[in-house]
Amino acid sequence: MGIVENYINGLRDAYITYNGGEIWKHFETIKHGVSAESIEELKRIFPFIPKSLLELLSFVDGTYYNEYKGEEITLYFLGSDLNGYPYYLLSAEEMIKNQTIASAYYADYIDRVYGDEDIDEKITDKSEEVKWLHFSDCMNNGGTSQLFIDFSPSKKGQLGQIVRFVHDPDEFLVIAENFDAYLQQLIDNKFNFINEESIER
């Protein structure tokens, strides 16, 4: 099995383990994948978009207040290095809409304007060059943490590295070398963002 199939199977098992089997079953019954048109638009905007992210979107086109069969779905689908903290997968439409969010909201951090920013040296210091794909928001509507694929790293970074932003105190940290490695980390951590507490929310 490939990384995405392993990931989805493991996530399903985590939901079942923590008494969320009916939630997952209902989700699989009504969800659908991304349209071919949206895939092409994502590829146009982000030529280096990982195949594994496109495969996830083909499984479900977002789990963050997305409508399927007339029903609005919110489902925890991803995690990060923040132990036990769940995230949603954004839809292709949201990724396209948010394509400039990093430079619009975080330029001062990226440019190191204040001199004491907590930002990974693998991240560029030129906000005008930033090309980040915003693919996930945390459980707090993204107000606390967001995840990005970075297609404009510094010389010390790697194309496609995963950047995690967390608020208060604000921090930008590279948490994985690429999207596949990010998914593998979540698998290796046994989907620890799914537990009794997150299932009950």
pLDDT digits (tens, 9 = 90+) for 64-106: 999 999 999 999 999 999 988 999 999 999 999 999 999 999 9
Q: Parallel, antiparallel, or unpaired: how do β-strands 171-176 and 118-119 relate?
A: parallel
| Centroid of chain to Cα 7 | 14
Number of H helices, E strands in the chain: 8, 8
pLDDT digits (tens, 9 = 90+) for 95-108: 999 999 999 999 99
Res 201: pLDDT? 65
Question: pLDDT band for position 56 (50/70/90)?
Answer: very high
pLDDT exceeds 70 at position 179: yes
Q: What percent of the chain has a predicted confidence (pLDDT) above 70? A: 99
Phi/psi at 117 (nearest 5 deg)? -65, 140
Cβ(22)–Cβ(79) below 8 Å: no
Res 98: pLDDT? 96
Question: pLDDT band for position 165 (50/70/90)?
Answer: very high
pLDDT digits (tens, 9 = 90+) for 114-154: 877 799 999 999 999 999 999 999 998 767 899 999 999 99
- The CA–CA distances, whole Å, from 9 to 21, 57, 118, 141 equal 12, 15, 36, 26
Q: Look at 34-38, 168-172, 189-193 and tell me which has the smallest mean pLDDT.
A: 168-172
Q: Give the mean model confidence (pLDDT) for residues 12-25.
A: 96
Res 116: pLDDT? 77
Res 88: pLDDT? 97
Element (H, E) at 8: helix 3-17
Measure the CA–CA gap between 148 and 195, rounded to whole angstroms. 24
pLDDT digits (tens, 9 = 90+) for 186-196: 999 999 999 98
DSSP letter, residue 129 = G
Question: pLDDT band for position 59 (50/70/90)?
Answer: very high
Measure the CA–CA gap between 89 and 155, rounded to whole angstroms. 29
Cβ(62)–Cβ(35) below 8 Å: no
Phi/psi at 32 (nearest 5 deg)? -145, 165
pLDDT exceeds 90 at position 169: no
